[in-house]
Structure 1
C-alpha cells in the first residue's frame, strides 16, 4: 500500500513574467527581449502601456495586434494593454517578475530606480537583459523618425511592422 501526501499530484507553479512598454511600434530589439524571456518563463505577458497624454503613431489595439502577429511562434506570449502602475498589473495576474532590456548604461540608471521602486511597492523583481549589440541603438522613436523621413527601417522591424509603418506614414 502506498500513501500519498498530496504533493505528488500538485502541478509546479507557472513561472510568469511581464515585458512592459509602449511598443509604438514594436522593433526587432523588443522582439529579441520577448523571445529570450519566452525561453525562461512559462508565460510572458507583453503589457502595452496606455498613456492618454501621448498621441501614438499606432493605436494601442494596433500595437497589440502587431505584437501578437510577431510573437505567435513562441506559443507562450500573451499580449494585453494596461493603464496605471505596472506593479498593480503584476499583482492582478500573479506575475512576480518584470523583464527589461538594457541598451546602455544610461538605461540602467533609470531602470534601476524603477526596479527598486517596484520592488519596494510590491516585491516584484526586475530581470535586466542586456540587449543584443545588433539592437543597442534601436528605439521606437528613432524608427518612427527615420521612417517619417522616408528612410529604410526594414532591417529594424519585422516585415508586418514595416508594412504598417509605410501605410500609416503614406496616409498621414
Structure 2
C-alpha cells in the first residue's frame, strides 16, 4: 500500500490546500494530512481547532483514503511513523519552490527512502495563502473565494473574538 503524507499548518485550510489533497489522494492508496505547528508562524487557530477543521473539510473526499492527524516532530519521523514512502508538497510560485527544494534536500539527507513530490496548485488557486486569507479577514475583507463557506464562518468568528484591524 502506497502512503503519502501532506504536512502543513492549515491555518486555515484553503481551497488551494483542498485542491492538493484531492489530487494527491488519486496518486496513493492512503493520504495522511499532517496538521502541525510552525514556530515561525502565529496561528489563528489551535492545533486542535485546525485538526477538526481539516477533518471536517476532507470528510467524504476520495472515498475514505484520507486520514488527518496532528504531529509535532520532524517531518521525516512523522512520515516513517505513518508508513509513508512519499511527502506531498504544494507549490504556488517560484518562491515556494526555492524553499521547498531546500527542505526536500534536507529531508532526503535525513531519510533517502522517502521521496518528496511537488504538485502545482491549480492556476486559479495559486495566489491563495493562509497568511493572506487571515490578513484579509482581519481587515474586514471577504474571504469566501479562498476558503469553503464553513471555514469562512470559522475565520470570521475568530476575527470577531480577537478584533479586526484598522477599525
Aligned residues: 159
Counterpart contact for 1:99–1:127, Cα < 8 Å: yes
Choose the corresponding residue for 2:147, options 146, 154, 157: 157
* Residue matched to 1:84: 73
- What secondary structure sits across from 2:67 in the alignment? strand
1:147 is matched with which residue? 137
CA drift of 1:130 comes to: 0.8
**Deviation string, structure 1 residues 64-123 (Cα, Å, up to 9, x no partner):** 111111111222111111112100001112111001111111111111111111112112
1:107 equivalenced with 2:77 (yes/no)? no
TM-score, normalised by the number of residues in structure 1: 0.88
Alignment TM-score, normalising by the size of structure 2: 0.91
Matched residue SS, 1:171: helix
- Shift in Å, 1:55: 3.9
Q: CA deviation at 1:51?
A: 3.6
SS at match of 2:99: helix
Which of the pair has more CA radius of gyration? 1
Which residue in the other structure is 2:119 paired with?
A: 129
Deviates more, 1:15-24 or 1:75-84: 75-84
* Structure 1 match to 2:28: 41
Alpha-carbon RMSD:
1.2
Q: Distance in 1 between matches of 2:48 and 2:28?
A: 25
* Distance of aligned partners of 1:52 and 1:78 in 2 relative to their CA distance in 1, 3 Å threshold: same
Q: Which runs of 5+ in 2 are unaligned?
A: 163-167
